Amino acid sequence: MTGVVRIGTRGSQLALVQSELVRDELCRLHPGLEVEIVVIQTKGDRLLDAPLAKLGDKGLFTKELETAMLEGRTDLSVHSAKDMPTAVPDGLALVAFTAREDVRDAFVAGGGTRPGDVAQIPPGATIGTSSLRRRSQLLALRPDLELVDIRGNVQTRLRKVDEQGMAGTILAAAGLARLRQPELAAFAFSFDQMLPAVGQGSLAIEARAGDARIEGLVTPLIHEPTSLAVKAERALMRSLEGGCQVPIAGHAQYVSVPGEPGARRLRLRAFVGSLDGADSVRAESCGPAEAPEALGETLADQLLGMGAGRILAAVRAG
Looking at the structure, tell me whether residues 285 and 216 fall in a common domain. Answer: no
Choose the weakest-confidence range: 46-60, 67-81, 128-142, 279-293. Answer: 46-60
pLDDT confidence of residue 49 = 56
Looking at the structure, tell me whether residues 144 and 282 fall in a common domain. Answer: no
pTM of the predicted model as reported, rounded to 2 decimal places: 0.91
Say how many CA atoms lie within 13 Å of 119 toward its Cβ. 1
pLDDT confidence of residue 250 = 97
Radius of gyration of the chain (CA): 19
| Mean pLDDT calculated for residue range 233-262 | 85
In this prediction, residue 151 has a pLDDT band, given cuts at 50, 70 and 90, of confident
Does some domain include residue 197? no
Looking at the structure, tell me whether residues 275 and 258 fall in a common domain. Answer: yes
pLDDT confidence of residue 55 = 46
CA dihedral 24, 27, 28, 29 (to 10 degrees): 120
Q: Is the pLDDT of residue 35 over 70?
A: yes
- In percent, how much of the chain has pLDDT > 70? 93
Q: Which of 83, 90, 276, 301 is catalytic?
A: 83
Looking at the structure, tell me whether residues 35 and 69 fall in a common domain. Answer: yes
Looking at the structure, tell me whether residues 21 and 35 fall in a common domain. Answer: yes
Measured distance CA(197)–CA(267) in Å, rounded: 16
- In percent, how much of the chain has pLDDT > 90? 78
Looking at the structure, tell me whether residues 164 and 308 fall in a common domain. Answer: no
Q: State the total domains in the chain.
A: 3
Does some domain include residue 193? no
Specify whether 192 is catalytic: no
Q: Is the pLDDT of residue 317 over 90?
A: no
Does some domain include residue 194? no
pLDDT confidence of residue 260 = 73
Looking at the structure, tell me whether residues 91 and 110 fall in a common domain. Answer: no
| Mean pLDDT calculated for residue range 196-224 | 96
Looking at the structure, tell me whether residues 112 and 86 fall in a common domain. Answer: no
Looking at the structure, tell me whether residues 73 and 51 fall in a common domain. Answer: yes
Domain CATH code at residue 72: 3.40.190.10
Measured distance CA(242)–CA(158) in Å, rounded: 28
Q: Residue 124: left if φ>0, alpha if ψ -120 to 50, beta else—which one?
A: left
Q: What are phi and psi of 149, to 5 degrees?
A: -75, 130
In this prediction, residue 155 has a pLDDT band, given cuts at 50, 70 and 90, of confident
The residues with which 148 forms a beta bridge, in sequence order, are 128
Q: What does the pLDDT look like over 157-197, one tens digit per residue?
A: 989 999 999 999 999 999 999 999 999 999 999 999 999 99
Looking at the structure, tell me whether residues 131 and 145 fall in a common domain. Answer: yes
Q: What does the pLDDT look like over 111-147, one tens digit per residue?
A: 778 999 999 999 999 999 989 999 999 999 999 999 9
| Mean pLDDT calculated for residue range 203-214 | 96
Q: Is the pLDDT of residue 246 over 90?
A: no
Tell me if residue 247 falls in helix, strand or coil: coil
Host domain of residue 163: 105-188
Choose the weakest-confidence range: 26-40, 48-62, 231-245, 264-278. Answer: 48-62
Looking at the structure, tell me whether residues 29 and 72 fall in a common domain. Answer: yes
The average confidence (pLDDT) of the chain is 91
| Mean pLDDT calculated for residue range 81-102 | 94
